[in-house]
Amino acid sequence: MVITKVTAARDAATVLAGLSSARTPWLTLALAGQADHGRLAATVADPDVTVIDITDPQAVPVTISPFEPAPGYPVQAHADRLAGLFEAAFGLGEPVTGALRAGLRRAYADCGWDMRTGAARPGAVISSAIPAFRQLKPATEDVARDLGYDTGMRAAVRGFLEARLDALWAGPAGLFLGAATRLAWPGCFVGTCS
């Protein structure tokens, strides 16, 4: 079970205490830095909790790449779900959603993925790479142009990429969503992480 951005101390205490007492592994992200971290520490008095503070510049960089599909999960389905996540999180509408979905597919293809099979393209010499935001942004801008979006529509796409996603990847969340040391999920979920 994953709970993200639990901010109300009473709600967090209730949910996390219930999960801990049921011995259910859980993960919560302290996105507000020390303020959230302090609330979570006070809420969960469990010595077996692993704390991952994504805002601590001195901490070991642990990342979760939203672009990385789970082993064996179809790449096309992963790209579609990731697009849906962006759409829901940012309340996107057309023309941005169309360009973003096509941009994700192009970013995966540009990194060597065959979107139909989920494997490396036939004849590829190296393995497929996991796309990152630096590949998504130009792929999405190119797609908007290739789809024939007019100047205003391309400006809406570029505005979303620069105002919303650039800001996300430039801040502390960007370190967490980047490509440094990856978190070993199976090991983490033996216990609980916050």
- Per residue of the chain (194 residues), what is the pLDDT tens digit? 444 454 555 566 677 677 777 766 666 655 555 555 555 555 555 555 656 666 666 665 566 778 888 877 888 999 999 999 888 888 888 999 999 999 999 999 988 888 877 776 666 656 678 888 888 999 999 999 999 999 999 999 999 999 888 887 777 666 666 654 444 544 444 444 44
Q: Please report the pLDDT score of residue 194 as a whole number.
A: 45
Q: Please report the pLDDT score of residue 40 as a whole number.
A: 59
Q: Please report the pLDDT score of residue 192 as a whole number.
A: 43
Crossing angle, helix 96-110 and helix 75-90, to 10 degrees? Answer: 140
Q: Please report the pLDDT score of residue 138 as a whole number.
A: 93
Q: Please report the pLDDT score of residue 120 as a whole number.
A: 67
Q: What is the CA radius of gyration of the chain?
A: 19
Q: Please report the pLDDT score of residue 85 as a whole number.
A: 87
Phi/psi for 49 (5° steps) reads -80, 130
Q: Please report the pLDDT score of residue 113 as a whole number.
A: 87
CA distance 78 to 135: 16
Q: Please report the pLDDT score of residue 169 as a whole number.
A: 78
Q: Are 100 and 83 in contact (CB under 8 A)?
A: yes
Q: Are 115 and 106 in contact (CB under 8 A)?
A: no
Q: Please report the pLDDT score of residue 30 as a whole number.
A: 53
